[in-house]
Amino acid sequence: MNTHDIFRHLGIDTSVLRTGDVWVDSPIDGTRLAQLAPDTADIVDTKIALASRAFDTWRRVPAPRRGELIRRFGLLLREHKPVLGALITLECGKIIAEGEGEVQEMIDICDFAVGLSRQLYGRTIASERPLHALRETWHPLGPVGIISAFNFPMAVWSWNAALALVCGDSIIWKPSIKAPLCALACQHLLERAASDMDDVPPGLSCVLIGNNDTGSLLVDDPRVPLISATGSCTMGRQVGPRVAQRFGRTILELGGNNAIIVAPSADLELALQAITFGAVGTAGQRCTSTRRVFLHQQVRDEVLARLKKAWTGLVIGDPREPDTLIGPLIDRQAFESMTLALQAARAQGAAITGGERVLSDLYPQAWYARPAIVEGTDSLRNSLEETFAPILYCFEYTDLDEAIERHNAVPQGLSSAIFTRDLLEAEHFLSAVGSDCGIANVNVGTSGAEIGGAFGGEKETGGGRESGSDAWRGYMRRSTATINFSTQLPLAQGVNFGT
Ligand code: NAD
C-alpha cells in the first residue's frame, strides 16, 4: 500500500499530500510520500485561538461523555489497525509487528482513558475545624500542546491526547517533521469519531505542520498552559526553560541511555532475547532501547559469544517484508551519528562488531545499518550519551553495587533492567539505592512498556510522566476547597483575630 491507498482507505482527501514544499520521504527506500504545506505563524495563531475556544466548551461537557469520544476513536483505531500500522512502517520504517504494536498501544490507552473518564477522583480530607469539610477537586487545565518525536509517530500523541481529552482539555499537536502523515491520519480519525457527537466543539484537536520553529510558537504561547514534549535532551533543554519563563507547565519525555545488568544467576536465554530486542528492535530508535549492558564476569564471555552469534542471523531489510526484524534508520543523519559514535569508541580502544551500512546497492537513498556490539571499558565517553541507533556497549562487572553505580553514572534516567534469579539482588536493584531510572524491571528488558504504568524518566530524561497510573493529573489543575457549614468562622491554626 502506498500513501495514497492508505489515505483513501481512511477516507482522507489525498490532495492534502501535494500542498507545499515540506518533503516527506520514506526511510525504506527514499520514495517521496508527500509534499505538505507548513503552517504559517498566522495559521498557528488561529489554531491556538480555536483550541482555546474549544476548551471553554469542552470543559463543561461531563467527563464520561468526553470518554465517549475516546471510546469511538478507539473503535476506529481497531477497525483500521493494519492500515495505520502500514502507514507507520512507510513513514518511519518500523517492521510490521512494531507498527501494528504501536496502534495497539493507542487502542490500549483509549480503553484506559475511557475508564478514567469516570474515575477522575479527588480526595476528601479531614478538616481541623468543626463543621468544616476540606476537599480536593481536579479541573480541566486548558489547551495542551503536544510535541512529538519521529520514532513513535502515533502512540506518544495518543498517550497525551486520550488523557488530555477525557480530562477536559483541547489539544494542539506539533508532530515531528519526519512523520507528519501519521499525525494527519490520527487527526482525521479523531474528527470522524467526533462527527456524530453534537457536543464536541470545532478545533478541539488540531495538527501543526512544521519544524522546530513551529514548535517554538506553541512553546511560547501563554494560551497553552501545558506543553508535553517528547524528543531529545537537546530539545528539552530549549523547551523546558522557555515554558518555565512564562510559568507554563511541562511534561518532558526526553532521551534515554538504558542499561541491563546480567547477574550470574540470570536465565541467560531470557537475557539474550531481551538484550537483542532492546538493542536492535526499531533499529535502536526507541527512547527505551538498550544501549548498555553490564555482564557479570562469570557470564560475560558466554553472553557476548551468544549475542554475536544470534545477531549474525538478524534479517535487516525492507520492514514491509514479514521476515525482517531490523528496518532502516530514519535518515542519513542518523547513520552518520552512529558512525561517529563508533569511530570515537574505536579511537578509545573499544572492539567493535558490526555497525556498517548495508543494502546501499538496493536502497541508495536509504540507511540500513548492521547493529554494533562495542566491547569496552567504562571510560568510553560516548557511552554516556544517547546515540539514536543500534549500538550496544558491553561492560564487565564483578560486584553488584559497583555495577549499579556505573549503571546510574549517565545523565539520563529512563529505563533499566536486571536479569537475576536472586531475590536479594532483584530487590536491591529496585530499592532506593538501586536503579535511579523512572522504569526499573526484573527479568524484563528495558524496551516495551505497557500503558498501565506511568511512563517517563529522571535526570536529563526530563522527569515527566505520561500514560497510565496517575499521569492524568498532569493534564488537570488541582483545586483545594474548604467548606464551612457551621455558624462560626474559626480560623486555621486556631488564630484568634479578635473580631
Ligand atoms: P527531536 O528532539 O529532534 O524532535 C522532537 C520534537 O521536538 C520534534 O517535533 C521537533 O520539531 C520538536 N522540537 C525540537 N526542538 C524544538 C524547539 N526548540 N522548540 C520546539 N519544538 C522543538 O527528537 P527526534 O529525533 O524526533 O526523536 C528522537 C529523540 O526523542 C530521542 O532522544 C529519544 O530518546 C526521544 N524520545 C523520548 C521518548 C520518551 O518518552 N522519553 C519517546 C520517544 C522519543
Distance from the alpha carbon of residue 255 to the mean position of ligand 1, in angstroms: 8
Instruction: Give the residue ranges of DSSP H helices in 173-287.
Output: 180-194, 212-219, 233-245, 268-280
Distances (CA, A) of 16 to 4, 12, 33, 253, 415: 10, 8, 11, 30, 38
The DSSP H or E segment spanning 137 is strand 132-140
3-state secondary structure of 252: strand
CA of 183 to the centre of ligand 1 (A): 15
How large is the average pLDDT for residues 151-155?
Answer: 98
pLDDT number for residue 1:
87
pLDDT tens track for 235-247: 999 999 999 999 9
The structural domains of the chain, with segments of one domain joined by +, span 3-224+464-480, 258-437
pLDDT level of residue 108 (50, 70, 90 thresholds): very high
Give the SS3 label for residue 271. Answer: helix
Catalytic residue (one of 68, 102, 105, 253): 253
Residue nearest to atom 12 of ligand 1 (CA): 212
Residue 175 region, left (φ>0) first, then alpha (ψ -120 to 50), else beta? Answer: beta
Residue 247's Cβ-count burial label (10 Å; 0-12, 13-18, 19+) is exposed
Say whether 465 sits in a helix, a strand or coil.
coil
Ligand 1 atom with the smallest distance to the CA of 253 is: 41
- What does the alpha-carbon distance between residue 69 and residue 77 come to, in Å, rounded to a whole number? 12
CATH fold group of domain 258-437: Aldehyde Dehydrogenase; Chain A, domain 2 (3.40.309)
The answer to whether residue 253 is catalytic is yes
Report how far ligand 1's centroid is from the alpha carbon of 31 (Å): 24
CA gap 174, 172 in Å, rounded: 7
The answer on pLDDT for 499 being more than 80 is: no
- Pocket test residue of 242, 287, 414, 460 for ligand 1, highest count of atoms within 8 A of CB: 287
Q: Which atom of ligand 1 is nearest to the CA of 234?
A: 2
Q: Which fold has domain 3-224+464-480?
A: Aldehyde Dehydrogenase; Chain A, domain 1 (3.40.605)
pLDDT digits (tens, 9 = 90+) for 275-309: 999 999 999 999 999 999 999 999 999 999 999 99
Q: Would you state the pLDDT for residue 120?
A: 98
Instruction: State which of 92, 151, 214, 290 you would mutate to test the pocket of ligand 1, scoring each by most atoms of that ligand within 8 A of its C-beta.
Output: 151
Q: Whose CA is nearest to atom 24 of ligand 1?
A: 149
pLDDT, tens only, 406-415: 999 999 999 9
Q: Are the C-beta atoms of residues 284 and 256 closer than 8 Å to each other?
A: no
- Cα gap 150→231, rounded to integer Å: 8
